[in-house]
Homo-oligomer: A and B are copies of this chain.
């Protein structure tokens, strides 16, 4: 996870429908959801949902797996965790007391 990856992930998350998709997929857990289910849940036409799903996948925030006719999307905990670590470490490595300002519990960075 370098700076370029982080910028791509931040950009992918900074869009209303994409953030809603991430939240929806987190709620679905390991089951994930098909592109059609996601489009319906977002109240969006298929091409719009597909556009945003591919943006999220390109950024490494979700994964896809074909199951017969459907394509199942799942949130990538690895990707999301990597982004959080990037921000936290960029934060904490330079300034040890930032954690406190962040309202986050104490832990080693």
Contacts and interface: CB of A to CB of B under 8 A. Distances in A.
Contact of A77 (B3, B8, B19, B102): B102
A105 B102 contact: no
A81 B102 contact: yes
Given A23-B94, A94-B27, A102-B77, A7 B3 contact: no
Nearest to A95: B26
A101 B75 CA distance: 11
Nearest to A30: B95
The secondary structure that dominates the A interface is helix
The size bracket of the interface on A is 35 or more
Interface in A74-93: 77-78, 80-85, 87-88, 90-91
A10 interface: yes
